[in-house]
Structure 1
Amino acid sequence: MAYEFPKNPAPLAPDAKRQMLKEYYTYCRELARQDPEALNRKVPRSALMGTMDRIGTLLIEEAKSLAEQNEEVREFLAQNKPPGMMSHLLPDDFRAFCLLLNGLKQWLAAQQNATDRYLLGGTARPLCREMSETCLVTGERLTDDMELHHPVRDGRPPIPLSKQGHRLIEKQTSATGLSGGDEGDPVALAVQEIRTKGHFSWNMLRRGCRQILGLATEGGTAGSNASARTFARQAMQKANLNAEDLLAWMDANGLGLERGR
């Protein structure tokens, strides 16, 4: 059976969407005052490891099948053989696994973006921005560099925050601004050092990586885009990753997905 993204069985009318967001944002403002950590909750990685292991095993099996039986994949692998001794070091099933991971990364990003549309439809992001003129955490007036932040990645819509509001929420989660599961991640620690020093956002890093790769981005002035690319290059060097791998790491950790897609 072909995969279909879950559909809302009871879609809301435009006025009902606005009323829901109004109540939701009022609730989040109160949370920001009483328990700001509640605006940046993540399920423990340990709770998902069994599922991740099963998915990983399935990916390896599927990659082997693609490399052996899928004519399009076999033809692609044959037409794009690695040069020299590398061709003997990269077996076709591993190459197919890498191709599958790359396709999965793009698919996951699209699915995650689609979660906002479950309740709010195709105008989800503009509507979220429209419903508040001020940051839900700091109360300051929102500007063009506002960010949409997901308090919990469970389908509820993102909330509009200023950069300062976003930083405050992240600092409530841990002293480094990382979620508890990321504190031992060498990539997270390397990037966070630059990010904190430069007061950069994850969205800015994503934008910089995408621009380095020649991919489309949204928003940002010429100056901020130049800063985003500089941040991305510094992060790539510090983490010893290229732009594509750094984007994949961000995708896997749900970082900077609110804008720039």
Structure 2
Amino acid sequence: MPYKRYKSSVSLSKPEKVELMNEYISFYSDLIQKHDCDVLNVKIPREIFSIFLDDIGSKLNEYAIKMAEGGPVKDFLDSNPLPPHMKELLPDDFRAFSLLLNALKQWVSAESLSTDRFLLGGTARQTCREAVSNCIVTGDELGNNPELHHPLRDGRPPIYISKTGHDLIEHKNKQSDNQPNNELLQIMKTLKKEKHMSWVLIREGCNAIITRSTQHRPNAMSHANTIIKATGMSATEVINFLNLHNL
């Protein structure tokens, strides 16, 4: 079945949209009074979507391999050659995979913007701005550079908050995230030292797992699988984690 973008069956007038957002802002203002600003940063555990994400990853692998064998993507890769040494290190299926990821990222970005317009239409940003004059986090005026913030990514509209308010929410989010991140980092560093691993080979092994490439150095896959097993992360998550910590 071809993809179909969600569209609301109800068309609200401009006053109705503003009233809807006023109720929405009031709703969150009350929640903040009762539960602090944590209510503006609610996230569903990622592991709930692990099967779905694995399916997407498998599809990307399949398409990358197929596209690297022939067709428009293969033609594009051939028309944009790499230096000889780099060509040996970057197999065509991985290059196709990278192009697919970029296309998927652009698609997700466009569809995410579309979800913001589901209730409020093409004037979503303007309506959100008209619904609030003061930051519901700090109580201060929004100022010249307010931030659009999504309390929860389930289709509900974003809320304009001040730059200071947004920074406060992000700071609390980092505080709650730092503990598990530090534990994972320590696990990786301990294994790396005990088993004489290298970040380069771990990364190379993860890339090989993602792309199903056989072009990798000895021990790369072994290093990657050891880290994956110890941390419970996927190969993609390990690479993202290494990038986050500049490893």
Would the alpha carbon gap of residues 174 and 76 (structure 1) be closer, same or farther in structure 2, given more than 3 Å must change? closer
Q: Which runs of 5+ in 2 are unaligned?
A: 186-242
Within 2, Cα distance between the matches of 1:104 and 1:145?
29
The CA deviation string for residues 171-208 of structure 1, in whole angstroms up to 9 with x for no partner, is 444526x588867787xxxxxxxxxxxxxxxxxxxxxx
Answer yes or no: is 1:149 the counterpart of 2:126: no
Within 2, Cα distance between the matches of 1:43 and 1:238?
21
Answer yes or no: is 1:56 the counterpart of 2:78: no
Q: Which residue of 2 aligns with 1:166?
A: 166
Q: Which residue of 2 aligns with 1:93?
A: 93
Q: Which residue of 2 aligns with 1:110?
A: 110
Aligned length: 189
Q: Which residue of 2 aligns with 1:43?
A: 44
CA root-mean-square deviation:
2.5
Q: Which residue of 2 aligns with 1:21?
A: 21
The CA deviation string for residues 87-117 of structure 1, in whole angstroms up to 9 with x for no partner, is 1222211111111111111111111111100
The two structures have a TM-score, normalised by structure 1, of 0.66
Matches within 5 A, 1:1-16: 1-16=1-16
Q: Once the 2 structures are TM-superposed, how far is the Cα of residue 3 of structure 1 from its aligned partner? A: 2.1
The sequence identity of aligned pairs, in percent, is 44
Tell me which amino acid in the other structure corresponds to 1:170: E
Q: Which residue of 2 aligns with 1:66?
A: 67
Within 2, Cα distance between the matches of 1:144 and 1:185?
39
The CA deviation string for residues 147-188 of structure 1, in whole angstroms up to 9 with x for no partner, is 010000100001111122122333444526x588867787xx
Residues 137 and 161 in structure 1, CA contact (< 8 A), matched pair in contact too: yes
SS in 2 for 1:148: strand
Residues 136 and 159 in structure 1, CA contact (< 8 A), matched pair in contact too: no
Would the alpha carbon gap of residues 14 and 112 (structure 1) be closer, same or farther in structure 2, given more than 3 Å must change? same
Within 1, Cα distance between the matches of 2:182 and 2:26?
31
Would the alpha carbon gap of residues 61 and 76 (structure 1) be closer, same or farther in structure 2, given more than 3 Å must change? same
Within 1, Cα distance between the matches of 2:244 and 2:95?
27
Within 2, Cα distance between the matches of 1:130 and 1:12?
16
Tell me which amino acid in the other structure corresponds to 1:7: K
The CA deviation string for residues 212-256 of structure 1, in whole angstroms up to 9 with x for no partner, is xxxxxxxxxxxxxxxxxxxxxxxxx98549xxxxxxxxxxxxxxx
